[in-house]
Structure 1
Amino acid sequence: MRSDVFGISSVRRGVLVLLAGTLLLPALPAQAQSETTKKIGIVGAGNIGGTLGRLWIKAGYEVLFASRHPEELKPLVDELGPKARAGTPAEAFRFGNAVLIAVPYKAYPEIGKDNAAALRNKVVIDAGNAVKARDGAIADEVERDGIGITSAKYLPGARVVRAFNAANYRVFQKNAGRPEPRMAVPIAGNDPKALETARTLVSDAGFDPVVVGELKAADTFAMGSPGFGHDLSAPELKEKLGVKP
């Protein structure tokens, strides 16, 4: 009988101690976890990078714009406020849960080499286009092998998703967040989770994402293809690109 009483008493004391400890724990911020996930690095703060960075900041993201000369980005960062900052490409890869690359395509081999470790398992939103007059021999490689496959080659280890390359930045500026039907943005990638991240980023920027397929399918909306340069709704774009509903 005494052992039963002792056991019950011990349980009660344990519960009281646990409750007291719980009451003394500091309260956590209500949205701390969701806020920390909304970070993106942008390598290249030109027309497309600057446009999308503005849209993501408007949607509540923290954005690190990266350049080899980050001091030159001070006017942009000052304009966009406390959610914007400037840094190097290496800092952008460390900062963002995903990284948008929006630089001339000929820079991809250097970016991949300089950031080899940081690229591993990183979600990379690849917005670049290869232009022969500007990018030289790598444009021939893109024409031969396909742009999605070529990007994956020069960004080894990254979970690459092609997105935001199928229209001029002015089209994105004009149509972001318009009333339904929203403008559709085609995306392609091999990694399902990376595609989900890209879908969220496209949607938060004010567009409807349309998954076209794996990276090889990015050729269907590459610059110069029949799927490039369209301002269409999601159903219209799916029909244009032959994507099954």
Structure 2
Amino acid sequence: MRSDAFARRAVLALLASTLAYPAVAQSENPRRIGIVGAGNIGGTLGRLWLKAGYEVFFSSRHPDELKALIEELGPKARAGTPAEAIAFGNAVLIAVPYKAYPELGKENAAALKGKVVIDAGNAVKARDGDIYDEVEKNGIGAVSAKYLAGARIVRAFNAANYRIFLKNAGRPEPRMAVPIAGDDPKALDTARTLVSDAGFDPVVVGELDAAKKFAMGSAGFGHELSATELKAKLGVAP
């Protein structure tokens, strides 16, 4: 009898330990993204990731203004400050005017260190002023790395207007390709997943410096091409 009771207790203990693992995995949910800037591009991509099953944290300097958006999008969407969004996400999308990068990086330096950052910003002379000249001189990848120091940056979702992403997300094969560039292989893997889950095909163009090939104003900007077509356009090996 004692041996039977011991055996039953052992089986129950094994089952309990086995069932505990999925709960741990769920609590460390990798499908969480923070979005800094809930405007056109941030709002568009956030909706696409919500549709794909992600938890999405939208943010702005005035989070109260996002209340209606969150009520519309449901329980997997939430809103708060940029600092809260950065802390929440396993990856963070930066989608704010480029002139905000220096202050954003300074205010969140510790939180951004080691974080995967999907950098969707573009520098525009009329809006962003002097930092546009810095981008023209040094390349947007280098400038983003300067002001978001320590982050694992991947340039993505900056090569087209948000309306193009909205129009083409999840289109029938061949899907629209999205060029990406970064120095960190694991961050690139994360970006590939995020691009694919949003309904596009990722095309790795190269390291972060290669982002100039699809920066605003370049020949690689503004296309609705398949992966094969985009690789040919940007000179990326098939």
**Shift in Å, 1:28:** 3.8
CA distance in 2, matches of 1:94, 1:116: 12
1:200 and 1:51 map into 2 onto residues whose CA distance is 17
Looking at structure 2, the residues matched to 191 and 14 of structure 1 have their Cα atoms a distance apart, in angstroms, of: 51
Question: Who is 2:230 aligned against?
Answer: 237
SS in structure 2 at match of 1:27: helix
Change (3 A) 1:25 1:243: closer
Matched ranges for 1:40-59 at <5 A:
40-59=33-52
Question: Hey, what's the Cα distance between the residues in 2 that align with 1:24 and 1:160?
Answer: 40
- Report the alpha carbon displacement of residue 37 of structure 1 after superposing the two structures with TM: 1.1
* Match of residue 184, structure 1, among 173, 177, 184: 177
**Alignment-derived partner of residue 14 in structure 2:** 22
Which letter does structure 1 place at the counterpart of 2:219? P
Q: Larger C-alpha radius of gyration, 1 or 2?
A: 1
Q: How does 1:86-235 map to 2 (within 5 A)?
A: 86-235=79-228
> Secondary structure at the residue paired with 2:19?
coil
* Paired residue total: 235
Matched residue, 1:7: none
Note the residue ranges of structure 2 that are not aligned, 5 or more in a row: none
1:33 aligns with 2:25: yes
Q: Cα RMSD between the aligned structures?
A: 2.0
- Distance apart, 1:243 and its partner CA: 0.2
Percent of counterpart pairs with the same letter?
74
Deviation at 1:235, TM superposition (A): 0.2
Distance 1:69 1:236, change over 3 A: same
TM-score, normalised relative to structure 1: 0.91
CA deviation after TM superposition for structure 1 residue 33, in Å: 2.3
Partners of 2:162 and 2:12 lie apart in 1 by 57
Q: Please tell me the residue identity of whatever aligns with 2:225.
A: L
**Per-residue Cα deviation, 1:163-209 (whole angstroms, up to 9, x for no partner):** 00000000000000000000000000000000000000000000000
SS of 2:44's equivalent in the other structure is helix
Cα distance, 1:19 vs structure 2: 3.4
Gaps of 5+ in 1: 1-11
Task: Give the residue type in structure 2 aligned to 1:149.
Answer: A
| TM-score for both structures, normalised by structure 2 | 0.93
Query: SS of the counterpart of 1:37?
Result: coil
- CA distance, structure 1, for counterparts of residue 145 and residue 21 of structure 2: 39
Provide the C-alpha distance between the structure 1 equivalents of 2:235 and 2:23, rounded to a whole number of angstroms: 40
